[in-house]
Amino acid sequence: MAKIDLNCDMGESFGAYKLGFDEEIIKYVSSANIACGFHAGDPVVMQRTIRLAKTYGVKVGAHPGYPDLLGFGRRNMAVAVADVKGYLIYQIGALQAFARVEGLELQHVKPHGALYNMAVKDAELAQAIAEAVRSLDKGLILVVLAGSAWVNIAKEQGLRVAGEAFADRTYSADGSLVPRSQPGAVIKDKKEVAERVIRMIEEGRVKAITGEDVTIKADTICLHGDSPGALELAIHLRSALGDRGIKVVPLEEIVKK
């Protein structure tokens, strides 16, 4: 039986501002990426989201980003790699503390937004992220873009690595994500999304926005929990995967030690 992890970015509310549908989406995923206060989230939201994941038996991971609340962490920043390491250790360490208070351990780390996208193309940045994660806990799984050079960079650090694909995002012919600023970057039809995800899992391929087939080996599929129709998409995808006999399991059951 084929297996896949479904992850979702969560805990991205801030103070009085609510973002996303965490309480609903949590029922349909197996791993939660929890914002750590730099691009979104705050201590109260972090603690609340940890407890929510615990209630539903969903594995938790840190979702660290650039210090960019105004830009939601999606703006590229020129930051020294030594500083990036400090940013990650600070954020992951904070979430580790909240998890341990609830009797949990972090399963994974998935960088957010611009930090993630820049590391896909910047080997030095990818290396710094991997080193920061390893310095905290070499047992953590690092989630990176499937098929990118980042996969091997992280493995060379001795980390467990999960290749990630995106359910509702389109791909360029080189395997990179089409920037959100371009038309067609986000797929809104839930049936099309489910068909693409199933093909990624069963065939290891996805059709690029320009029509070519791109090879992709995904251990985890990202669902965006803050987009319109996110809940309906999550429900439809879980149903479609079940109909195909594809089992949804946490990352730690796919990326073994």
By DSSP bridging, strand 213-215 and strand 205-207 are antiparallel
CATH superfamily, domain 3-253, is: Glycoside hydrolase/deacetylase (3.20.20.370)
Residue 32 is predicted with a pLDDT of 98
The predicted structure's pLDDT at residue 76? 96
3-state secondary structure of 134: helix
Give the model's pLDDT for residue 179.
86
Give, for all 257 residues of the chain, the pLDDT tens digit.
799 999 999 999 999 999 999 999 999 999 999 999 999 999 999 999 999 999 999 999 999 999 999 999 999 999 999 999 999 999 999 999 999 999 999 999 999 999 999 999 999 999 999 999 999 999 999 999 999 999 999 999 999 999 999 999 999 998 889 988 888 889 989 999 999 999 999 999 999 999 999 999 999 999 987 777 889 999 999 999 999 999 999 999 999 87
Burial of 63 (0-12, 13-18, 19+ CB in 10 A): buried
Residue 15's pLDDT is what?
A: 95
Backbone φ and ψ of 61, nearest 5°: -145, 160
Residue 82 host element (H or E): helix 81-101
Identify the three-state secondary structure at position 50: helix
The whole-model pTM stands at 0.95
User: Cβ(48)–Cβ(33) under 8 Å?
Assistant: no
Q: Which pLDDT value is given to residue 228?
A: 75
Domain spans, the chain: 3-253
Torsion sign (Cα): 31, 37, 38, 40: positive
- What residues contact residue 240 under an 8 Å CB cut-off, 6+ apart? 194, 195, 197, 198
Distance CA 166, CA 2 (A): 18
- Say what the pLDDT of residue 51 is: 98
